[in-house]
A and B are shown apart, each in its own frame.
Chain A
Amino acid sequence: MQSYWIYIGIFLVVAVAVPIIAVALPVLIAPNKPNRRKEEVYECGIETTGNIRVQFKSQYYIYTLIFLVFDIETVFLFPWAVSLGKLPLFAVIEGVIFIAILFGGLIYAMRKGALAWY
């Protein structure tokens, strides 16, 4: 089994090296004339005004938190799904209880308005 991971290591090295070569090649053959007007930040053709870092909505953070909880839930569900064929029938109910508890959490989030994007 270790040789499979060695293959993945080699593949990752090649998968990172090929884009690096592709991105580095134009440095040799493309022109490079930096110019202050060219390097201005784009704002539909006018001068940039105001602070670059705008204030974020906190909704992004809440989405990421809820995503994290459900991500860990699916990680727990993978061993359950794989071994369902070898376990007694009661294992289905155990998994359903697991999913139902977190499904209740999702309903709570929906009712609280935490999933709305306003």
Chain B
Amino acid sequence: MADLINLIEDWIANLLLGWGASEELTLFLLQTLGSVLVIIICFVIVIALIWVERKLAGRIQDRFGPNRAGPFGIFQSFADMIKIFTKEYVTPEGAEKGAFNIAPVLAMASVLAIWAVFPFAVNVIGADIHVGVLYIVAVGAFGILAILMAGWSSNNRYALLGASRSVAMLISYEIPMVVSLLVPVLLAGSTKLSVIVEAQQPWWFLLSAPTAALIYLISSMAEIGKAPFDLLEAESELVAGYHTEYSGMKFGMFYVAEFLHQYTVGALVTIFFLGGWGGPLAVRWPILGVVYFYGKSFLIYLMISWIRLSLPRIRIDEMLNLNWKFLIPVSFINLVAVASVDRILLDLALPIWIDVGVLFAVNLLILLAALYLAGKSKPALERKEFPPRPVAVPPGTER
């Protein structure tokens, strides 16, 4: 009863072998079933997440959020889904048909493909490949390409401008993301995701590498285009950026991909810094590991939503300055410091809580030094002082 997932898997395998299927066909069918199950769970989660996000946004903005479609508005997502399925596709004139239609599929597929390598519980992992971390970064690159294709093939210069700015921002923030990912890889000694999660079991990497976690969170928030980095959408500026000309389910694909990407970032932060499926009794009962994994990812999702709903948008030149002049140097210095301290501590062979404490102190030191130095820099564009301008007042009240 404890090992529910493996029990079900063995039962299906025995069933298929009993029907006369060969070994390889059984494995193939089990793998197909597993991947379909993971993808269906992703879609179900996104439907729930859209409702959570809209309710949360409503409450933070001192309003109710959706409350008409069912009690507390829980059927709102289903209503939206039905509406989007029945909307007409309007293709702008002069758009390139091939790229225009492939872009939403590519954007969605690149986010879904990340779920192939996640460790859900102790021995429940889809594909425990040796290069798990690099696979995740490589698949994310397809999403960037999808944005470029969408912006170009719309035959709309605002979509093109939005897409180019998005791509410039996304590739800029990919560097601190990958460099801060090197820190958990270094601490765990492998790029296999299952080894990274198992290496965190008593002491999560959030304690050993908080600076890397912070940099990874900030860069990922820029990658998914959530505020304060949301000038990809910038609803009041570029209309809708690269997906201006999309309607119906193609727009729906971009929309769902964005929410799923936010949840996937939550899952990635969980795997790398929050101990993955770890928690009390997670090793004895793998089903608890799955619950912990999805639960922790949901907490990070809520945190990202909270930050998004509280902060204003920052300008693109401030954002790129932040990346190239602050995040990248800090992430490199952090990597060098953690690498040297970890290697020296490995030679000294102290008990593990001393290791964690020393690493935590080093990280905190770097973070405070970086924030102090950043506070002393001058802003990018000098603001001139303007003389006070005349203000219109009603006649008879002017001084």
Judging by beta carbons under 8 Å apart, are B116 and A19 in contact? no
Complex interface: chain B residues within 8 A of A53 (CB): 157, 160
Determine if B328 and A41 form an interchain contact, defined as CB atoms under 8 angstroms apart. Answer: no
Q: Name the prevailing secondary structure of the A interface residues.
A: helix
**Which of the four size classes fits the interface of chain B?**
35 or more
Q: How far is the CA of A22 from the CA of B155 in the complex (A)?
A: 24
CA of A107 to CA of B34 in the docked complex: distance in angstroms? 48
**Interface status of B349 (Cβ within 8 A of chain A):** no
- Given the known interface contacts A4-B128, A7-B127, A81-B339, the answer about A39 and B158 at a Cβ–Cβ threshold of 8 Å is no
Q: Is B108 an interface residue (CB 8 A)?
A: yes
- Taking a contact as CB atoms under 8 Å apart, the answer to whether A23 and B104 are in contact is yes
B6 at the interface (CB under 8 A from A): no
Set A1, A27, A36, A74: member contacting B178, Cβ < 8 A = A74
Contact B87 A12 (CB under 8 A): no
**A26, B249: Cα distance in complex, Å:** 7
Shortest distance in angstroms between A69's beta carbon and chain B's nearest beta carbon? Answer: 10
Provide the bound-state CA to CA distance between A40 and B94, in Å: 9
- CB neighbours (8 Å) of B26 from chain A are none
| 28 A-B pairs in the complex with CB atoms less than 8 angstroms apart | A1-B129, A3-B31, A4-B127, A8-B113, A10-B31, A11-B113, A15-B108, A18-B39, A19-B104, A19-B108, A22-B252, A23-B104, A29-B86, A30-B85, A41-B94, A41-B245, A42-B156, A42-B158, A63-B171, A67-B171, A70-B175, A70-B328, A82-B191, A84-B339, A84-B343, A91-B343, A95-B339, A116-B321
Task: Please give the residue numbers on chain B whose beta carbons come within 8 Å of chain A beta carbons, in ascending order.
Answer: 27-28, 31-32, 34-36, 38-39, 43, 84-94, 101, 104-105, 108-109, 112-113, 115-117, 126-130, 133-135, 154-158, 160-161, 164, 167-168, 171-172, 174-175, 178-179, 182, 185-186, 189-191, 239, 244-245, 248-250, 252-253, 316-317, 320-321, 324-325, 328-329, 332, 335-336, 339-340, 342-344, 346-347, 380
Given contacts A34-B90, A54-B160, A89-B344, 8 further A-B contacts (CB under 8 A): A1-B130, A11-B116, A12-B116, A19-B112, A26-B248, A30-B87, A41-B245, A95-B339
| Partner-B contacts on A (CB < 8 A) | 1, 3-8, 10-12, 14-16, 18-20, 22-23, 25-27, 29-34, 36, 38-44, 50, 52-54, 56, 59-60, 63-64, 67, 70-71, 74-75, 77-78, 81-82, 84-85, 89, 91-92, 95-96, 99, 103, 106, 110, 115-118
